[in-house]
């Protein structure tokens, strides 16, 4: 948590990383499903940056299988360094944000509904920080997998902006970019708040409600 580098690293100055990925646990501690691919046929993936990833992952796994959630995981995305460590990401020298991966059944929960949870679950107006957590690794991001996801992210952002303004907030700073790579975080970060019930949770929204129905709801 609590980073200090509130600037984005230039790609030329990013840490080099490594070729070897971090080992991924075979089973989700709460849901019992594999966190890593291959995922079931028909499953869709949402990769989202909402600040420190411990709290947001818990928000999504609590929806459970009955809520359409197949599995969740935390990792690093949106930057330049391959297979970074947590310490490297927290240095601000990888360009990554802390991201939560949500694998879901679109027949039970749409991508737009996932985005509603995303927008309401953090403050998307804070730039390179989230609350007391300062640094590029805490910035708000939607990392889309296809054009339908991009359109949904942009449409819900446009719908949420005037709601935030009426609540006294500024402009949304959320980055909406195609996913280049998702690097799984170390095992001790996976389902952290299940393993450490009293652990730090920086999650907190604005109290504003994001209208849905303004974007595609079929995936």
Angle subtended at Cα 189 by Cα 67 and Cα 61, rounded to the nearest 5 degrees: 5
Cα–Cα distance between 183 and 64 in angstroms, integer? 23
> CA separation (Å) from 45 to 30, 62, 64, 133?
18, 17, 15, 26
**Which of these is catalytic: 52, 90, 201, 210?**
52
Cα–Cα distance between 71 and 65 in angstroms, integer? 8
For the question of residue 52 being annotated catalytic, the response is: yes
* Phi, psi values for residue 86, rounded to 5°: -60, -45
Tokens of 68: 């359409």
The candidate with the shortest Cα–Cα distance to 55, out of 162, 219, 189, 209, is 189
Cα–Cα distance between 171 and 173 in angstroms, integer? 6
Q: Which residues are catalytic?
A: 52
């Amino acid at each position: 948590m609590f980073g200090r580098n509130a600037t984005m690293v230039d790609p030329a100055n990013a840490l080099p990383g490594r070729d070897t990925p971090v080992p991924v646990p075979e089973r989700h501690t709460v849901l019992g499903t594999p966190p890593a691919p291959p995922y079931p046929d028909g499953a869709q993936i949402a990769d989202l940056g909402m600040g420190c990833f411990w709290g947001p992952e818990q928000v999504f796994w609590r929806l459970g299988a009955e809520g359409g959630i197949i599995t969740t995981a935390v990792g690093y995305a949106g930057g330049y360094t391959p297979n970074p460590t947590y310490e490297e990401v927290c240095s601000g020298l990888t360009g990554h944000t802390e991201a939560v991966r949500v694998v879901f059944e679109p027949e039970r929960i749409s991508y737009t509904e996932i985005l509603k949870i995303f927008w309401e679950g953090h403050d998307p107006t804070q730039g390179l920080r989230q609350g007391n957590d300062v640094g590029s690794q805490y910035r708000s991001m939607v990392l889309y997998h296809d054009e339908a996801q991009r359109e949904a992210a942009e449409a819900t952002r446009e719908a949420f902006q005037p709601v935030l303004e009426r609540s006294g907030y500024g402009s949304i700073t959320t980055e909406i970019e195609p996913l280049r790579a998702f690097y799984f975080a170390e095992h001790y970060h996976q389902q952290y708040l299940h393993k450490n019930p009293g652990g730090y949770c920086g999650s907190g929204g604005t109290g504003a409600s994001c209208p849905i129905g303004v974007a595609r709801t079929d995936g």
